[in-house]
Amino acid sequence: SQQGEEDPQALSIQEGENATMNCSYKTSINNLQWYRQNSGRGLVHLILIRSNEREKHSGRLRVTLDTSKKSSSLLITASRAADTASYFCATGPRLGNKLVFGAGTILRVKS
Amino acid sequence: EAGVAQSPRYKIIEKRQSVAFWCNPISGHATLYWYQQILGQGPKLLIQFQNNGVVDDSQLPKDRFSAERLKGVDSTLKIQPAKLEDSAVYLCASSATPLAPGTDTQYFGPGTRLTVL
């Protein structure tokens, strides 16, 4: 079963605009991670935010986590055509390391 | 540092045939994962190894799927016999720190795209 649900399912924006993707989950977590998947490729880890953190930055990426609402958002600023990919959130449990992935958001950045 | 290697990249088989996938994790990574990713969905964990022992195989269809990680390095995933619904991308991932919640990053291989006709 999939824990995370991403919203929207698909997003199309112009180069230079910001892209925001949301993730909701159901159970308590230890951490939440975001991954990117380019067409025909494996997943690439983008960022991890722990349950006791509220916001984290990495380059053009900004992730927020609201554990009271069981939700997270990924913001990509000043998007580029190369950001075109599918983005997945994955929740890490309190015990073990079994990540549970959502269905993903397909982002298309038009140049 | 070399990434996670998988082979083959693509495989087409008839239903009821057998197929095997191979994965070579990043050198020194103790934990290895196999995921199944059906088109339009996120990856679903099939099995997790720590060294050569199985940590979690709760979502592995054991009547047809098997996996092993001899010597705690390479791993193979086998499907026998294959069904139409097994068509998917099979992803292998590895991580350095076993069973360390909140600190582990998984590194994924390119995947094997399986088509069952």
Q: How far is B16 from chain A (nearest CA, A)?
A: 26
Confidence of residue B87 (pLDDT cuts 50, 70, 90): very high
- The closest CB to that of B109, out of A42, A94, A95, belongs to A42
Q: Nearest 5 degrees, angle CA A55-CA A22-CA A27? A: 80
Chain B, nearest residue to A91 by Cα: B102
Amino acid B48: pLDDT: 93
Does B98 have pLDDT greater than 70? Answer: no
Mean pLDDT of A5-26: 94
Beta strand spans in chain A (E): 5-7, 10-14, 19-24, 31-37, 43-50, 55-58, 61-66, 71-76, 85-92, 100-101, 105-110
- SS3 string, B13-66, reads ECCCCCEEEEEECCCCCCEEEEEEECCCCCCEEEEEEECCEEEECCCCCCCCEE
Higher pLDDT, B111 or A29: B111
Give the pLDDT confidence of A26-83 residue by residue, as tens digits.
988 889 999 999 987 889 999 999 999 999 999 999 999 999 999 999 999 999 999 9
Mean pLDDT of B58-84: 95
Amino acid B72: pLDDT: 84
Mean pLDDT of B57-68: 96
Q: How far is A94 from chain B (nearest CA, A)?
A: 7
> Which of A3, A97, A99, A101 to probe the B interface (max B CBs under 10 A)?
A97
- The closest CB to that of B41, out of A35, A44, A103, belongs to A103
- The closest CB to that of A103, out of B42, B108, B109, belongs to B42
> Which of A32, A43, A58, A101 to probe the B interface (max B CBs under 10 A)?
A43
